[in-house]
Structure 1
Amino acid sequence: MFTFVVGIDTDEDRATAQAETIASMPLEADDVTAVLVHSFSENKGGGTVEQVKSVRVARSRLEDAGIEVTPEGYGGDPARAILNVADEHDADQIVVAGRKRTPTGKVLFGSVTQSVILDTERPVLVCSGGD
């Protein structure tokens, strides 16, 4: 079994790119599982991960490709959530979606992708959606 841990934010284009990249890999779909991780910065309304449209989009695309999907929602720091789930599932690879930011933006706001890459020994695949 090959396990991907996929960090899904709220951007549907990035979620689609991540799902399509995984679905196009030369692996037997029935030997692949994808754990979709979404981190809520605030969840005062008690929403679930299944209510996040980008998670539903990625899940649908992966399931259409015959890949088993498990969505998981967490609160707090997205990078830490992704890394913790990767450890819990002993992931073979982490898949994140990068976005274009200026160097100043990265310094001021940090980068989930950068944190994941720097804080894991696991292989990390970075996808980007849109143009």
Structure 2
Amino acid sequence: MYNVVIGVDDNEERAMACARAVADLPGDAAEKRVTVLHSFTDNPSGASASQIASVRDVVDFFEDRGVDVEVTESSGDPADQILDAAEEMGADLIVVSGRKRSPTGKALFGSVTQTVILNAKRPVMVAGDTDD
């Protein structure tokens, strides 16, 4: 079983880039288990992660392909939450998204992605960038 944690924000295009990258990993769908993590930094309405469109899209994508998927939510710093979840779940891989940048900015990732890359104790895949 290949255990993957995907950090998903509110952006549906970036979330789906992560989902497609995981689906393209070698192995059958039955060999993959995906945890979709959405970390709320501000949630005054009390929404759950499964109510976020980007999370629903990713879950539907994996369910349609027969991949075992679950949703986890947290609150606090998204990078810390992704790293903690990956550690707790014994993830084989963390997947986060990149963002389209100017030529100068391409040397840098978004702050969450950069923090995850620099502090992870396991492999990190950065999925394709999209327009913001």
Q: If the length of structure 1 is used for normalisation, what is the TM-score? A: 0.89
- Given the alignment of the two structures, is residue 94 of structure 1 paired with residue 105 of structure 2, yes or no? no
For residues 1-80 of structure 1, the aligned pairs below 5 Å read 1-80=1-80
Distance 1:77-1:101 versus aligned 2 partners, 3 A rule = farther
Q: Are 1:15 and 1:129, in contact at CA under 8 Å, matched by a contact in 2?
A: no
Q: Are 2:98 and 2:130, in contact at CA under 8 Å, matched by a contact in 1?
A: no
Q: If the length of structure 2 is used for normalisation, what is the TM-score? A: 0.89
Aligned partners of 1:30 and 1:80: how far apart in 2?
29
Superposed structure 1 runs of 4+ greater than 2 Å apart? 100-104, 128-131
Q: CA deviation at 1:25?
A: 1.6
Identity, in percent, stands at 43
Partner of 1:111: 111
Aligned partners of 1:54 and 1:65: how far apart in 2?
17
2:30 match: secondary structure: helix
Aligned partners of 1:39 and 1:81: how far apart in 2?
7
Q: CA deviation at 1:101?
A: 4.5
Aligned partners of 1:35 and 1:56: how far apart in 2?
13
1:121 match: secondary structure: coil
Consecutive unaligned residues in structure 1, runs of 5 or more: none
Aligned partners of 2:65 and 2:13: how far apart in 1?
18
Q: CA deviation at 1:14?
A: 0.8
Consecutive unaligned residues in structure 2, runs of 5 or more: none
Q: Are 1:20 and 1:62, in contact at CA under 8 Å, matched by a contact in 2?
A: no
